[in-house]
Amino acid sequence: MAPPSATYDVVDSGAGVETSKNDKPAKQPLEPGLTEEQAAANKASIPSMDGPMYEDPYKEREYQKGRLALAFRIFAKFGFDEGVAGHITLRDPVEPTSFWVNPFGLAWPLLKASDLIRVNAEGKVVDGGACRRLNTAAYMIHHAVHEARPDVNCVAHSHSIYGRAFCTLGRTIDTITQDSCAFHNDIALYSSFRGIVLAADEGIAIAKALGPRKAALLQNHGLLTCGKTIESAVFWFMSLEKCCHAQLLADAAAGGRGGETVKIDEKDAQYTYETVGSEMAGWFSAKPQFDLMEHESGVDYKW
């Protein structure tokens, strides 16, 4: 079904051809030959989240740790690892006040589920692999977000190249592409930078700026995304990084010609957001990358 602005007044001419007529308005999508009802019927359906369902939270924990290990390998594949910076956290299904995170300094392309460490609400490592070094910034930021957002199970942050470049501009992204519509009215700008996050108040400030949204641009720092699933949080990060890249290119091209980029209409952006910006859309969009990484890793990512 087309967005609101891609409609025009139509009436059946009697010969199977619909023509415009001002005194008899009806909505029709821009796509030729399709009524709004037909377009809705032809719309691609997104299947329900088909991950295994576990009644035993301990089995759920082991499955989700495997997904988190795959997430780090995906981030590494896309070049989102920068030395020892960056972290992805998973709320623990057994003890939800704690979360799983990568050990500080362990290479993401080699990360296994058995390497992950679990951190409690006080910032103490209480479970996990042999290397139990904790990145203090990871705890300060992610604990604050997990605590403020009980609806969120995964939080991702890294210093990706286009994200951190865009975060120097002190502004949020424009809705200029279909992909950027996923963040329409659903992204925050944290317009402060006070160095590496080593204090609780900075993490709390980031969580407050994020609010109920799925993503944040951390000024002079990088991107942060979150979701109910690991998959959605990872996809929002990948997509936001590409949106930053696209806007940097588009702004440069437009500026070089003395113009500006064309913004998507508010109604169209909101309409598109409802399709591409949902939790389900994020999870489903990530599925191919997770399937591919699982295939490439074999069983190596688990133990």
> Does residue 136 have a pLDDT over 80?
yes
Q: Which has more pLDDT, 18 or 38?
A: 38
Q: How far apart are CA 182 and CA 204, in angstroms?
A: 25
Tens-place pLDDT, residues 179-210:
999 999 999 999 987 765 666 788 999 999 99
The runs of H, that is alpha helices, within 85-154 are 136-148
Q: How far apart are CA 174 and CA 163, in angstroms?
A: 14
Q: How confident is the model at residue 30 (pLDDT cuts 50, 70, 90)?
A: very low
Q: Which has more pLDDT, 119 or 11?
A: 119
Q: How confident is the model at residue 5 (pLDDT cuts 50, 70, 90)?
A: low
The runs of H, that is alpha helices, within 52-126 are 57-77
Within 13 Å, how many C-alpha atoms sit on residue 242's CB side? Answer: 13
Q: How far apart are CA 16 and CA 242, in angstroms?
A: 43
Tens-place pLDDT, residues 151-179:
999 999 999 999 999 999 999 999 999 99
Is 1 in a helix, a strand, or coil?
coil
CA torsion sign for 44, 295, 61, 54 is: positive
Within 13 Å, how many C-alpha atoms sit on residue 246's CB side? Answer: 15
Is 295 in a helix, a strand, or coil?
helix
Tens-place pLDDT, residues 266-295:
999 999 999 999 999 999 999 999 999 999
Q: What is the model's pLDDT at position 33? A: 59
Architecture of domain 57-297: 3-Layer(aba) Sandwich (3.40)
Domain locations in the chain? 57-297
Q: What is the model's pLDDT at position 284? A: 97
Phi, psi of 215 (to 5 degrees): -150, 155
Pairing of strands 99-101, 117-119: antiparallel
Give the CA distances from residue 11 to residues 6, 7, 29, 66, in Å, rounded to whole numbers and listed in that order: 16, 13, 13, 55
Q: Provide DSSP, 191-257.
A: ----SS--SHHHHHHHHHHHTT-SEEEETTTEEEEEESSHHHHHHHHHHHHHHHHHHHHHHHHHHHT
| Range from 42-51, 91-100, 285-294 carrying the lowest mean pLDDT | 42-51
Phi, psi of 219 (to 5 degrees): -55, 135
Mean pLDDT of 57-74: 97
Q: How confident is the model at residue 217 (pLDDT cuts 50, 70, 90)?
A: very high
Tens-place pLDDT, residues 236-266:
999 999 999 999 999 999 999 999 999 999 9
Q: How far apart are CA 289 and CA 292, in angstroms?
A: 5
The rounded mean pLDDT for the chain is 87
Q: What is the model's pLDDT at position 62? A: 97
Q: What is the model's pLDDT at position 8? A: 36
